Structure 1
Amino acid sequence: MVKPTLLVLAAGMGSRYGSLKQMDGVGPNNEAIIDYSVYDAIRAGFGKVVFVIRHSFAKEFQEVFSPARFGGRIDVDFVFQELDYLPEGLSVPEGRVKPWGTNHAVMMAAEAIREPFAVINADDFYGAEAYKTIADYLMQLDGSRDRYCMVAYDLNKTLSSNGTVSRGVCGVDGEGNLTSMVERTQIERMPDGKIVFHDGGADEELAEDTPVSMNLFGFTPDFFAYSKEYFRTWFEANRENIKAEFYIPTMVNKLIGDGTASLRVLRSAAQWHGVTYKEDKPALMASIEAMIAEGKYPRDLWK
């Protein structure tokens, strides 16, 4: 059975943290969220991790997250996302300064991945259960085409108590397949306990267990070719918008909408953690300490 690969989208870390040295440790031995992601992936059965990074902080990143760090327990590779890494014939529009978004980052790994793979954000803590759920599904897809998956979280397990959040709200059919993914912004829990979003119109309530995407997707390698082809269409349509981004949900919605692919929505009971606001960090650190006390993680992750 082919082991799936974990693709970690880390190219945006340099701009968020200023420098990798400022990347916050969240574990008791200064482990980063990435450390817990790789640890959980190894336990779930992933065989390789590929990091999407930028040349501007490559040396620092590769020194920290070298194969030696993980004790030879998983293969490690690095690919690069840059503004001018475009399909042949396309050029960077004047005034554009940022790369092209999460699905453009995925495209950078086309030469490094030949097996089913999962995609994660570098700075999201997804939980061990989520990695096991997606790994088990991906292991069934070796040799398959056009069959994708994602881990959806209950909305109430992805909120911040320190401000509003944006989430991809998922529509799911009776067979468990994705029908739509709609970005909802300014989601928060109100004083009366209800969860609402304020997308500019009247406030709308969302159920506690509304399935939402946290960018934990699973794909087969054919996704790369579809992405490269559609990127040209998207690029021409957005050429004048120098801040437009080619997101993973943009590509997924296109392939689902035209019937090219199906995407199974896998539900997870895991608690998602992220650091949307600086005040979120203490809560994440406390949660990790609690999981260590429960025996879910060792105190020294890579010892």
Structure 2
Amino acid sequence: MSKATLVILAAGMASRYGKGTKQTESFGPSGETIMEYSIYDAIQAGFKKVVFIIRKEFAESFEKTMNEKLQDKIEVAYVYQSIDKFLGNHNLPIDRVKPFGTAHALLCCKDAVKDPFAVINADDFYGADAFQKAYNLLENKIQNNHYACVGYWLKNTLSDNGAVTRGEIFVNDKNEVEHIIERKKIVKREGKAISTEGEELELPLDTKVSMNFFCFDGQYINKLEKLYQDFLDKHITDIKSEFLIPEVTDKLIKSGESIVHMVPTTAKWFGVTFAEDAPLVKAEFKKLVDAGLYPSSLWETVSV
């Protein structure tokens, strides 16, 4: 029997955040991290397992904290992303420091994730509605190369403090994703969303975008290995190149290998890209707790 699994991308280096490690920073009233709210929502929706993708250098303290909080609440596993994994015959550039991106992180899960799974960022708040929809999809529709992408309104995903990257989702009349374009350096300017990479482009505020919340079956990870070798053939010498989930998924759609359904959510997204985002995120969690949507201490009342 399969078990719906939540995979959390927590190995990023947070170069734009500028202080500490945002994945483990406290934002909730009892010291909760952002991802703890995602895990809480996932448990409430029915998920049975969570897999953390982290870096080896902070594994000891991270695992100790999560094991204590999640004991007897959900099955927990850990995977380590490092830039030297799955290099094949390629030589790593001596000045490469940054990991190879989110799809490479998933590839590192090859031996840990076999069941249908949802994947999210550690530093984004996605909302309960998104997890409920993801769980239903994983239980009923995610199989045989049929995947899903949770879509958010662009206007609800911008930062007042700098440029962000969002995957613009294009769908057909069946709500199947035709392609995803990574729009980089999107800024909020005079109430508008402007992509400033290359020639400036204004994006409609109601554009559906990917926030790296996807639902896949276990076979998706197996597809990544060859695609990663193809990526390295072309980009190994570019120390800033990244092997990203939206771009890989876009290739699978265009090749006809996969069908990806766009699932809109009513949930409000928020997250921390820059240090200046932190006070707003803490205020948002306080509002949610004050409204009774979350307990003041997440783990005191949760049981499986």
* In the alignment, structure 1 residue 177 sits paired with structure 2 residue 176: yes
- The 5-angstrom pairing of residues 236-247 of structure 1 reads 236-247=233-244
Match of 1:92 in 2: 92
Percent identity of paired positions between Structure 1 and Structure 2: 39
Deviation at 1:194, TM superposition (A): 3.2
Alpha-carbon contact 1:190-1:196 (below 8 Å) kept = yes
CA distance in 1, matches of 2:89, 2:276: 45
Deviation at 1:88, TM superposition (A): 4.0
- The 5-angstrom pairing of residues 214-253 of structure 1 reads 214-253=211-250
> Which letter maps to 2:202?
E
Alpha-carbon contact 2:90-2:236 (below 8 Å) kept = no
Alpha-carbon contact 2:102-2:243 (below 8 Å) kept = yes
Deviation at 1:69, TM superposition (A): 0.9
* In the alignment, structure 1 residue 33 sits paired with structure 2 residue 31: no
Match of 1:54 in 2: 55
Deviation at 1:295, TM superposition (A): 1.4
Relative to 1, partners in 2 of residues 1:33 and 1:17: Cα closer, same or farther, differing over 3 Å?
Answer: farther
- Identify which of 292, 295, 300 aligns with 1:298: 295
Deviation at 1:83, TM superposition (A): 1.5
Match of 1:44 in 2: 45
CA distance in 2, matches of 1:146, 1:236: 26
> Which letter maps to 1:157?
N
CA distance in 2, matches of 1:279, 1:177: 36
The SS at the match of 1:145 is coil
TM-score, reference length from structure 2: 0.92
Deviation at 1:21, TM superposition (A): 9.8
Deviation at 1:157, TM superposition (A): 0.9
CA distance in 1, matches of 2:219, 2:150: 20
Deviation at 1:287, TM superposition (A): 1.2
Instruction: Tell me the alpha carbon deviations over residues 125-150 of structure 1, each in whole angstroms, 9 at most, x when there is no partner.
Output: 111111111111111146x2211111
Match of 1:163 in 2: 162
> Which letter maps to 1:294?
A
The SS at the match of 1:279 is helix
Deviates more, 1:156-165 or 1:110-119: 156-165
Deviation at 1:90, TM superposition (A): 3.7
CA distance in 1, matches of 2:233, 2:253: 21
Match of 1:83 in 2: 83
Match of 2:101 in 1: 101
Structure 2: runs of 5 or more not aligned: none
CA distance in 2, matches of 1:89, 1:240: 13
Deviation at 1:98, TM superposition (A): 2.4
CA distance in 1, matches of 2:245, 2:14: 21
The SS at the match of 2:275 is coil
> Which letter maps to 1:39?
Y
Deviation at 1:198, TM superposition (A): 2.5
Match of 1:124 in 2: 124
> Which letter maps to 1:171?
F
Instruction: Tell me the alpha carbon deviations over residues 172-191 of structure 1, each in whole angstroms, 9 at most, x when there is no partner.
Output: 11111111111223323432
Alpha-carbon contact 2:23-2:123 (below 8 Å) kept = no
TM-score, reference length from structure 1: 0.92
Deviation at 1:282, TM superposition (A): 1.4
Aligned length: 299
Instruction: Tell me the alpha carbon deviations over residues 71-119 of structure 1, each in whole angstroms, 9 at most, x when there is no partner.
Output: 4121000011112111543442333222211100001111111110011
Match of 1:187 in 2: 186
Relative to 1, partners in 2 of residues 1:232 and 1:243: Cα closer, same or farther, differing over 3 Å?
Answer: same
Alpha-carbon contact 1:17-1:23 (below 8 Å) kept = no
CA distance in 2, matches of 1:22, 1:226: 28
> Which letter maps to 2:215?
G
Match of 1:213 in 2: 210
Match of 1:258 in 2: 255
Alpha-carbon contact 1:141-1:220 (below 8 Å) kept = no
Structure 1: runs of 5 or more not aligned: none
Deviation at 1:284, TM superposition (A): 1.2
Alpha-carbon contact 1:20-1:57 (below 8 Å) kept = no
